[in-house]
A and B are shown apart, each in its own frame.
Chain A
Amino acid sequence: AQKVTQAQTEISVVEKEDVTLDCVYETRDTTYYLFWYKQPPSGELVFLIRRNSFDEQNEISGRYSWNFQKSTSSFNFTITASQVVDSAVYFCALSGPLGFGNEKLTFGTGTRLTIIP
């Protein structure tokens, strides 16, 4: 069975501070994929990033960066110089091998991030 744990229920930081959202996962698959999605108040889940289990390189995209460590089963997400527009609920998700109708996602319970102006 797959499991995703986001221990931080809510985080509040002052604008321009850096913030890290934690994600710990459990899976027996040797091939798996990790995702981060952003959910603004409108409700739509916005895809941010996907990493596969064979690629542990950290990734940076603008103010966003992701740290994937298989040794600790973690896939953490850092926002640098946070902005009010970053306020949302962020979900970490896990799937097995992707493709041809096999994309079931297991989500964590989410972290509500509030950026204080």
Chain B
Amino acid sequence: DAGVTQSPTHLIKTRGQHVTLRCSPISGHKSVSWYQQVLGQGPQFIFQYYEKEERGRGNFPDRFSARQFPNYSSELNVNALLLGDSALYLCASSSAAYQETQYFGPGTRLLVL
């Protein structure tokens, strides 16, 4: 079975622009989470969606938004990009059944100039 897939793999944007990152979970997984990993740091939780509903939100500004589609794929949107948004954005999926583990995709590397 395919793992978590993310697109694009790399992205370069300029300050003030908008970006959309995409994630497809492992087949059968209904929960998707997004994390931001700044260089040299551990991943920081941004959002979690389960059955198309937001179930958790980390300490990120309203410029960050996300949604989950009926096929359980997800998009992360970031508006008005800042230099500090440059990071590796990781998507994770889980079946969300009791005691399930999150499995991560390869990430999207975003560079804001």
A residues touching B (Cβ–Cβ < 8 Å)? 4, 33, 35, 37, 42-47, 50, 52, 91, 93, 98-110
Contact = CB atoms under 8 A, between A and B. Distances in A.
Interface in B77-97: 88, 90, 92, 94, 96-97
Given A43-B109, A44-B107, A99 B98 contact: yes
A107 B99 contact: no
Contacts of B7: none
Interface in B57-113: 58, 88, 90, 92, 94, 96-107, 109
Interface in B32-75: 33, 35, 40-45, 48-51, 53, 55-56, 58
Interface of B: 31, 33, 35, 40-45, 48-51, 53, 55-56, 58, 88, 90, 92, 94, 96-107, 109
A47 B103 contact: yes
B42 A103 contact: no
Contacts of A98: 98-101
B90 A45 contact: yes
B96 A101 contact: yes
A108 to B, nearest CB: 5
A104 B56 contact: yes
A46 B106 CA distance: 9
B106 A43 contact: yes
B30 to A, nearest CB: 8
B96 A100 contact: yes
Counting from the closest, the 7 A-B pairs by CB-CB distance are A101-B50, A101-B55, A107-B42, A45-B104, A99-B98, A44-B106, A43-B107
A47 to B, nearest CB: 6
Contacts of A47: 101-104
B101 A35 contact: yes
Contacts of A33: 99
A4 B42 CA distance: 10
